[in-house]
């Protein structure tokens, strides 16, 4: 795409507001981001935890927003990158950013709850910054494990509450109610109205809850390179979590 800097700036303005600050040939999409140079400053801290060379691998970026991570995965040589998001504003930004960056990425309007419609599994699934925006977060993780993730999951969630992670026992007696008073016991905080002015924030877990949910949905945590970021491999799902809903067309 042969656009001048001022044409790029005009398109960026027309497609805004942007959540991802992406450098498009010297023009930044969100230079005044409230988190700083986001998500680049986060990516820098865990980029080494993902294979440098992704050639021959397929990548699914769920909640891709303007495609920052999709573009990074393509730059690492991934054979195919598919970014999905349920918001057309972000998908249009992502298509423009990829075009200016000169990378071939597919973007599709799809909710995480519909990943089974893709009918395929991906070597690397990126699920960053989406869990706490969902009313049904554990269902989303179960669906990703069941229908989309073949090998690696790159996961991030906002966390609040204790950052301590307890060694949990397999079972506790009914009489042990004190257990739940421990701030480090896996907990999700329900946001009925708003948090950070954002009505799409629904459930914010503590650190123990993130780890327990990932394990329960069938992800083994193999790396925790950066605050809130987990590198996982697909593993067996908890006996109690499968299968909670029949696949389309399956009989009960």
Ligand X SMILES: C[S@@+](CC[C@H](N)C(=O)[O-])C[C@H]1O[C@@H](n2cnc3c(N)ncnc32)[C@H](O)[C@@H]1O
Residue ranges that bind ligand X, judged by CB under 6 A: 19, 39, 63, 65, 68, 85-87, 90, 111-112, 128-130, 133-134
Phi and psi torsions of 24, nearest 5°: -105, 95
Question: Closest CB to ligand X among 129 and 205?
Answer: 129
- How many CB atoms within 10 Å of residue 29? 26
Instruction: Work out how close the CB of 25 gets to ligand X at its nearest, in angstroms, rounded to a whole number.
Output: 21
Tell me which long-range contacts 43-48 makes (C-beta under 8 A, separation of at least 24): 43/68, 43/69, 43/72, 45/225, 45/226, 45/227, 45/229, 46/154, 46/225, 46/226, 46/229, 46/231, 47/72, 48/225
* 5-15 and 88-101 helices, crossing angle to 10°: 160
Considering the complex, what minimum distance in angstroms separates the CB of residue 183 from ligand X? 25
CB 74 within 8 A of CB 65: no
Q: Output 39 or 161, the one with its CB closest to ligand X.
A: 39
Question: For residues 131 and 185, which CB has a smaller minimum distance to ligand X in the complex?
Answer: 131
54/128 with CB nearer ligand X: 128
Judged by CB, which is closer to ligand X: 3, or 201? 201
- Residue with nearest beta carbon to ligand X: 63
- Minimum CB separation from ligand X for residue 209, in Å? 19
> CB of 230: closest distance to ligand X in angstroms?
13
Least Å from the CB of residue 225 to ligand X: 15
- Which of 149, 150, 159 is CA-nearest to residue 211? 159
* Residue number with CB closer to ligand X (38 or 168): 38
Name the minimum Å distance from CB 130 to ligand X: 4
Q: What's the rounded Cα separation, in Å, for the pair 237 and 215?
A: 7
């Amino acid at each position: 795409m042969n656009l001048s800097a001022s044409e790029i700036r005009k398109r960026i303005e027309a497609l805004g507001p942007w959540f991802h600050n992406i450098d498009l040939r010297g023009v930044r999409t969100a230079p005044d981001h409230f988190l700083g140079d986001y998500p680049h400053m986060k990516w820098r801290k865990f980029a080494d935890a993902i294979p440098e060379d992704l050639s021959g691998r397929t990548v699914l970026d769920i909640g891709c927003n303007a495609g920052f991570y999709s573009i990074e995965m393509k730059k690492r040589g991934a054979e195919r990158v598919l970014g999905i998001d349920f918001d057309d504003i972000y998908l249009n930004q992502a298509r423009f950013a990829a075009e200016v960056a000169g990378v071939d990425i597919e973007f599709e309007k799809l909710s995480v709850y519909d990943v089974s419609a893709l009918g395929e599994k991906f070597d690397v699934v990126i699920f960053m910054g989406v869990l706490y925006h969902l009313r049904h977060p554990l269902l989303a993780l179960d669906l990703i494990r069941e229908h989309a993730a073949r090998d690696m999951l790159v996961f991030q969630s906002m966390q609040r509450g204790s950052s301590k992670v307890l060694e949990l026992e397999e079972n506790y007696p009914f009489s042990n109610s004190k257990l739940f008073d421990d701030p480090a016991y896996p907990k999700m905080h329900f946001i009925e109205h708003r948090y950070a002015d954002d009505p799409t924030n629904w459930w914010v877990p503590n650190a123990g809850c993130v780890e327990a949910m990932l394990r329960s949905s069938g992800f083994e945590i193999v790396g925790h390179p950066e605050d809130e970021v987990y590198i996982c491999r697909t593993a067996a799902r908890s006996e109690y979590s499968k299968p909670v809903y029949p696949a389309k067309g399956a009989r009960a």
